Chains A and B, each alone.
Chain A
Amino acid sequence: MSGTRSGSGLASIGRVYLVFMLLFLYVPIIVMAAMSFNESHLYRLPVEWSTKWYERLAGNNKLLDATLNSLLVACATTVLATALGTAASLAFFRFEFRAKNLLRILAFPPITIPWLIIGTAMLVFFFWVGIGRGLHAMVLGHVALALPYVIIVVSARLSSFDRALEEAARSLGASAWQTTFQVTLPWLAPGITAAALFAFAVSFDQFVISYFLAAPGVTTLPVEIYTSIRKGFTPEINAISTIVIAVSMTLLLGVSRFYRFGGRS
């Protein structure tokens, strides 16, 4: 009996903990979303329903341009990092070569080295070799950052791949290319999708490196939000943030369904 009682005691502590965690995580976001629809910019309650800040946002070219830049950089990063990372994972999986483990380890520093340091190093290096600053430099930086995430996610999926599938395809007359595109990649698809999302998120959220590599007048959304806040906060930032959150939550929910569907075969 006492065992059961202390068990339920633990369970209720767990429940309280869960509630606090969710509150801590989501209350600021909900408040922000609510305030983006509030007439007053002084967070006055009760909320007076208004789409004023969204209308203002539509006229704020700086924020909109920055959003467009962010999307552009994130999409380019996603395509490049996913393609390169998947190819690297396949190479690590298929071939035995010299310094394979060293190479594998060398791919991971972007996760462990502080972004500030990587950002500084990139800024100095890009200037030195003539790449300079701008969206192209950001894409380079973001791809380097996203690559290890892609390799980790795709390799995890690959680790449960049955090599006999490739052998079966070869024995049936498929060339190495046909085997890769008709057997291996379709099997990897859920992993590649997850990896692409990671790459997109890494790029879209990236502030430090983007801040360092932004050319004057050409910024991304996180950098623009930071700059605006320093000049004085406006609820337009709540509005754009709410849109971003809505889009990314929808994306996440959609993918989580798809991922469960194709996860274990």
Chain B
Amino acid sequence: MARVDVANVSKRFGPVVALDDVTFSFADGRFFALLGPSGSGKTTLLRMIAGFEEADAGNVSIAGEPVDDVPVEKRDIGMVFQNYALFPNMNVHANVAFGLDVRGIGGPEIKRRVGEALELVRLTGYDARRPDQLSGGQRQRVALARAIVTQPRVLLLDEPLSALDRSLRVEMEIELRRIQRDIGITTIFVTHDQEEALTMSDHIGILNEGRLVQHGPPLEVYERPNSVFSARFLGEANLLAGEASPGTISLDAGTTVKATHDTRGRAMCSVRPEKISLYPSGCAPAGRNILSGIVREHIFAGNSLTYRVECGGEIVRVFAQNLTGDVFGEGTMVDLIWEPKDTVVLADV
């Protein structure tokens, strides 16, 4: 177990900038998600920590020691690959034992530790199966057992759930999290799935075009996005432009609303669709932010409703619980209400 630090790392592939001056500390024993669209550099960062890519500039260290000149096999890491990369010519036992075998560990100990690892991923008794006799979820578990059996300092996961179908993925998310807590290993998880990142990690880092845009605990990153990219990539966001002065922002859509910021000038603010409540026009309680509009569309999904409301030429999305069974029909004049703290003024316009 160990912390991992990357300091000012940059990497280019020909003309493409994969990583641009990224600095981050992955604290010991925590579960990190690196989230970003494809081409954002998240996989490059993971492969750099593993040792498969060399940084053009900057340093990587594990447990405080620089590893820039340490080859992959000496870094003492465990890695799970996107398509698991199980050795097809070996059975489950041999796959899991591989890392112990190449370290010259003896027979009885290998048997014991492989047994423990398979028990941890709940595959006891599958020793003699070959990879092509396993389901996707089972392969995933073998790959995980193989990666942790050597008790590595860091566990690196490269989109490990992307090849699984939906229900299996949810099950593996819980399983992965349980195993990570059990053994307390520093884990770095690369994904482009925001839900995976939110549900599994202690800490999310959002990457875009090779830069670390924002990082923090999932709730904080979700509630306080710092940029248009973060707001849009993690969850859904209504982006409203306006003129900011400390404490308020005059929206182009027509009203002045309260927010918690101290900047001035042109600004963009984000309001999450589920933070907004709808009231019939004129019936809204006072003391909160109000924006008037006309319902243009509603999508009924049983327990919830999605509205598209036109406010001063802009469409605002609103998620509502079906509490009363009443629905605002198309063309209804409504007031949109939300708390001042849910108006997040973004750093970039």
Complex-state Cα separation, A108 to B29, whole angstroms: 55
| CB 8 Å contact bits of B310-345 with A (1 = contact, 0 = none) | 000000000000000000000000000000000000
Q: B81, A172: Cβ atoms under 8 Å?
A: no
Q: Chain B residues near A183 (CB, 8 Å)?
A: 87
- Cβ of A186 under 8 Å from chain B: yes
Q: Chain A residues near B88 (CB, 8 Å)?
A: 165, 187, 265
Q: Chain B residues near A50 (CB, 8 Å)?
A: none
Q: Return the 4 tightest CB-CB contacts between A and B, nearest first.
A: A172-B99, A164-B85, A265-B88, A168-B85
A-B residue pair count with CB separations less than 8 angstroms: 70
- Cβ of B189 under 8 Å from chain A: no
Q: A265, B89: Cβ atoms under 8 Å?
A: yes
Q: Which of A167, A168, A178, A189 counts the most B-chain CB atoms under 10 A from its CB?
A: A168
Q: Chain A residues near B99 (CB, 8 Å)?
A: 172-174
Q: Chain A residues near B77 (CB, 8 Å)?
A: 171
Q: A171, B89: Cβ atoms under 8 Å?
A: no
Report 6 cross-chain contacts, Cβ distance below 8 Å, ordered by A residue. A164-B81, A165-B85, A168-B87, A171-B147, A172-B99, A172-B147
Query: Size range of the interface on B?
Result: 20 to 34
Q: A173, B103: Cβ atoms under 8 Å?
A: yes
Q: Chain B residues near A165 (CB, 8 Å)?
A: 85, 87-88
Q: B89, A173: Cβ atoms under 8 Å?
A: no
- Cβ of A120 under 8 Å from chain B: no
User: B48 to chain A: closest CB distance in Å?
Assistant: 13
| CB 8 Å contact bits of B127-157 with A (1 = contact, 0 = none) | 0000010000000000000110010000010
Q: B103, A265: Cβ atoms under 8 Å?
A: no
Contact of A167 among B85, B89, B146 (CB under 8 A): B85
Given contacts A164-B82, A172-B73, A173-B99, 19 further A-B contacts (CB under 8 A): A165-B85, A165-B87, A165-B88, A167-B50, A167-B52, A168-B79, A170-B72, A170-B73, A171-B72, A171-B156, A172-B99, A172-B102, A173-B74, A173-B76, A173-B103, A173-B150, A174-B98, A189-B89, A265-B89
Q: Chain A residues near B78 (CB, 8 Å)?
A: 171-172
User: A159 to chain B: closest CB distance in Å?
Assistant: 16
- Cβ of B61 under 8 Å from chain A: no
